[in-house]
Amino acid sequence: MLLKHLYDFAQSRHLLDDLAFAPKAVRWIIELDADGNLLGEGPQITGDDKRGQEFSCPQTTRPKVAGGVSEFLADGLTAVFGLDPDPDAKMSAEKRASRDRNNAAKQTDFWHQIEEARKVPDVPDLNAVLAFRQRLGGVTPKLLRWGKAPDAKADAKSAWWLRTASGGEVRLGPENFTFRVNGRLLLENETLRQFWRTQHSTEVDGARSGYQRGLCLVSAREGQPLAPTHNPKIKGVPNTQSFGAAIVSFDKPAFGSYGFDQSLNAPASEDAATAYCVALNWLLGQDDHSLRLGQTSLCFWAAQTEATGSLFARLLNKPDPQSVAQFLRSPWAGVERELAKKDQFFAVTLAGNSGRIVVRHWLQEPLDQAIDHFHQWFADLDLFVPSRPILKTGKKPKASAKATEFHPLSVYWLACTTVREMKDLAPDVPAQLYRAALEGSAPSISLIKPILDQLHSKLVRDENYQLLYDQSRFSLLKLILNRNRKNNTMEIKPKLTADTDDAAYNCGRLLAILATTQDKAHEYKLEGAGVAERYFGTASVSPASVFPLLLRLNRHHLNKISKSERFGGHERFIEEEIQAVCALFKPEKSGQPPVFPRTLDLQAQGRFALGFYQQQAADAAARQASKKNNSEIETK
């Protein structure tokens, strides 16, 4: 079904109208005059990055696996100049000879195509390109140099260096060249483009002439030429080769059956195979239809409603508070609800495995359900976060370089809470989050452990960690707990729940109050690890072994506050707050005093962490409100 819907998408969006061309990055333009003389000291650069600007370039259908095949008008160092990308590479004489033959064949193919195109009338600019080729004379041109940088160390590796139009040298990578004659870019010449369409059609017809015919499982049409391999390759999926990979492939006898070879084991017509590959490449290249997270990529689209792509992409990738609030108020803004009831929403999660692409998850559901699930996703992530303090300069504190850069409710930052570094993210984590957002499913309870492990690590080791503004971690924790809630387990609300009898949540609250008491006793100038940093891990797993000790130590902090000139008298309110929380614990047996739980399971540890966070957030908000009131009184 996935391939069929991709096939339909390619047809409906007219992605197959001009398959002879495809977007390709070209970094260097060789500027020539009408006689084929190089203008400037070298090629012109097309962009600031290492790939260059993308152009609509001719695309051959001939297989490149065996070598000796080049692209028309735009290709790399070997095709244009006949040079090996690494002349010093160590290899056997036999392999070197084979590689040299391939390089020569590729260069010959590149210039042969230009010679064939010269036969087309009204394209005199090709004469200049061929004159440039003749001046090369089969030797390395002066604008290219193999060697080291002028200031390189003795053990530095050699590379190709290119002299640019400005006279400077740039290290050359796997980059493409093309030509411009008297200011006219050959890639944009419509006569040459029409020539290539004819060549492309000839290539396709020639390839299909030898194909076996039969029933296409994608389009359900009979008598179709069946593709032995599915092309073009799909590019942009993590952990795949730079030239792309395939979803459908059979390259070993064990994958065949009943004597069928390659993709004839799952027959698809050449048209259908091309269509779904083109569709998937297009989706992966569109910011409004795809997201990449760690080692996975997500593509999504609606069968009819095009506006939903940007909506889902924006809210999955960059959900700023204003856009989320607007979506929660008006989830159907810009989308006709009646049409959405009839439309279908699709999403596929992909990961790479060298030459193959793995479909991690495939989703198909009515579009209105997808929007409703997305609405519920943000409702479940909703969590009160105190506002950041504003300094007199009007700027927020720079405790973290990423504090004002990230979007805490984006799938990327939510997933980051489970790992120390993004490279360590397991592929199933983003897949679970995508499903939770788009399908309304519950992420695994097992995700709670890495979230809490990283929280504990930051509390202990990261002196710049600001727990109050770690919205991603606690929002995701809230969503996981609420969606996996069973029986009479407490439901976590966006703000502090002060009247719950949930022991784990109240233990977290109590630790937060004790930590705040310690901070106040030291007038918020405590150096080194405090109560939270030292005891959070143990208290969240085995509260009964820690809290009696912490309550005894807290007497010292209360006494210190009572003697403070700044906070004297506050100890009474703190004691009342502690007593109010302790009164919520239930005794194990009737007639006995309340006790702290001996152990907490994984979900209870999650509620402990949220109780700790929400108590601290409520206290911080109360302090901010008090300061604001005091400043208003002073102003009056």
pLDDT digits (tens, 9 = 90+) for 422-467: 888 887 888 899 889 989 999 999 999 999 999 999 998 888 888 9
Residue type, 51: R
Provide the edge-to-edge strand list for the sheet that holds 144-147: 144-147, 159-163, 169-171
Evaluate the CA torsion angle 497, 500, 504, 510 in order and state its sign.
positive
Task: Give the closest residue to 204 by CA, choosing from 233, 235, 227.
Answer: 227
Query: What pLDDT does 255 receive?
Result: 59
- Cβ(113)–Cβ(58) under 8 Å? no
The secondary structure of 261-272 as a DSSP string is -GGGGS--BHHH
pTM of the entire predicted model: 0.75
Structure tokens that stand for 96 in this block: 């070197």
Query: What pLDDT does 257 receive?
Result: 63
What are the residues whose beta carbons fall under 8 Å from the beta carbon of 92, sequence distance 6 or more? Answer: none
d(CA 578, CA 622): 17
Structure tokens that stand for 336 in this block: 């006709």
CA 597 to chain centre: 41
Query: What pLDDT does 82 receive?
Result: 93
- Cβ(314)–Cβ(409) under 8 Å? no
Query: What pLDDT does 451 receive?
Result: 96
Quick check: helix, strand or coil at residue 163? strand
The neighbour count for residue 39, using CB atoms within 10 Å, is 16
Q: What is the DSSP letter of 390?
A: P
Structure tokens that stand for 293 in this block: 């997270």
d(CA 507, CA 610): 10
The answer to whether the peptide bond before residue 124 is cis (omega within 30 degrees of 0) is no
Angle in degrees, 0-180, between the axes of helices 448-461 and 471-483, rounded to the nearest 10: 150
Determine the straight-line distance between the first and last CA of the chain, rounded to whole angstroms: 70
- Cβ(600)–Cβ(543) under 8 Å? yes
Residue 428 burial by Cβ neighbours in a 10 Å radius (0-12, 13-18, 19+): middle
> What CA dihedral angle connects 18, 24, 26 and 29, to 10 degrees?
0
Residues of the chain with pLDDT under 50: 390-404
Q: What is the DSSP letter of 394?
A: S
Q: What values do phi and psi take at 618, rounded to 5?
A: -65, -40
Query: What pLDDT does 205 receive?
Result: 85
- Cβ(618)–Cβ(495) under 8 Å? yes
Query: What pLDDT does 539 receive?
Result: 94
Counting every residue written for the chain, the total comes to 636
